Amino acid sequence: MLEIRNILVFLLILGLFLGATVELSEGITFVGVFLFILLIVLISRVKFTGKAEKIRVLSVFHMQILGIAIISADLIYNMRISSSLGTLDMMTLLLGLSLIAQGIEKENIQKMGIFGTYMSITFIILFLVFFTLFNKFNIGFIHIFDHYVVLLPSVFVIRSLGVPIEVIEIETVYMRGVENMSVIIGGPCSGLYSMFLLVSTVVAYTRIEPIERRNILLLLGISVVIAYVANLVRVTSLYIIGFYFGKDIMMTVHTHLGWMIFIVVIMLIFPVIKKFEGS
């Protein structure tokens, strides 16, 4: 039987993870630390009932050594190039911590380690395929996705609200509000990070809890829809803020708005899913 409340807890954990990542790398550091602590507290309250599928490629000792090496390599690399930690870095660090956690003599921590390992590996694979491999072979999927799935729908919504906006390039719009500005919709604005994180969570959860295949597909579909709607709301909100208040305020809000909307959307679907659970 699918534990829907448990899935929603994991979605909330992902929202906090997104927030902590953004705030630590681009926003307010103490807010990121607070969100990360809240994230740890929430994770500690998750109770797994199924039998976790352990990763048996290496011995426990060697996985812990590998985890320490991964964490050290990522931190040293970012310090050498004076770079802030991004989402890929956070998932890499999560992979290292998860490998270490699998060797701790406490079942729930071991399961969280297994969960984190599957989750981070899934995200890293998706990231490398879509953002690295596609670029290497000049596959324009990201640009096409940004234009047809994000930019055009968001422009349609904002025009229906009476805000004048023009599409001037495949990933760029132009607005004449309190100031004239061009806005590029690409990279993190595509919402693919959120989709990857949610899909990774579902994949990891299926390695911990027994879930019917049809429910796995349902969860994957819900994850993608949630991420897409949350990102569409985020992009259109930024258009409106930029139009009425200018580009500087829009960019300030841009740093914090995404993960906040993500969490709000998750909280809004609680009543709907509770009804579904009881049916």
pLDDT of residue 143: 87
Q: Give the strand pairing for 165-169 and 180-184.
A: unpaired
Domains of the chain, by residue range, sit at: 4-278
- Picking from 38-52, 74-88, 110-124, which range would have the lowest pLDDT averaged per residue? 38-52
The edge-to-edge listing of strands for the beta sheet with 165-169 is 165-169, 172-176, 180-184
pLDDT of residue 46: 66
pLDDT of residue 277: 44
Give whole-number Cα distances, 200 to 120, 146, 193, in Å: 7, 21, 10
E-strand stretches of the chain: 165-169, 172-176, 180-184
Whether the per-residue pLDDT at 270 is higher than 60: the answer is no
Q: How far apart are CA 145 and CA 135, in angstroms?
A: 14
Query: Residue type for 274, please?
Result: K
Whether the per-residue pLDDT at 23 is higher than 70: the answer is yes
Which of 201, 176, 63, 178 is closest to 126 using CA atoms?
201
More confident residue, 57 or 175: 175
Mean pLDDT of 24-37: 75
Q: Which two tokens stand for residue 248?
A: 């500087």
pLDDT in tens, 212-241: 777 777 777 877 887 788 888 888 988 899
Number of alpha helices (DSSP H) and beta strands (DSSP E) in the chain = 12, 3
Q: Counting Cβ atoms within 10 Å, is residue 109 exposed (0-12), middle (13-18) or buried (19+)?
A: middle
More confident residue, 227 or 114: 114
Whether the per-residue pLDDT at 3 is higher than 70: the answer is no
pLDDT in tens, 119-169: 899 999 999 999 889 988 888 888 889 999 999 999 999 999 888 899 998
Whether the per-residue pLDDT at 47 is higher than 80: the answer is no
Contact 27, 90 (CB under 8 A): no
pLDDT of residue 211: 66
pLDDT band at 56 (very low <50, low <70, confident <90, very high): low
Whether the per-residue pLDDT at 50 is higher than 90: the answer is no
Would you tell me how many other CB atoms lie within 10 Å of the CB of residue 255?
14
Which of 106, 90, 89 is closest to 52 using CA atoms?
106
pLDDT of residue 57: 62
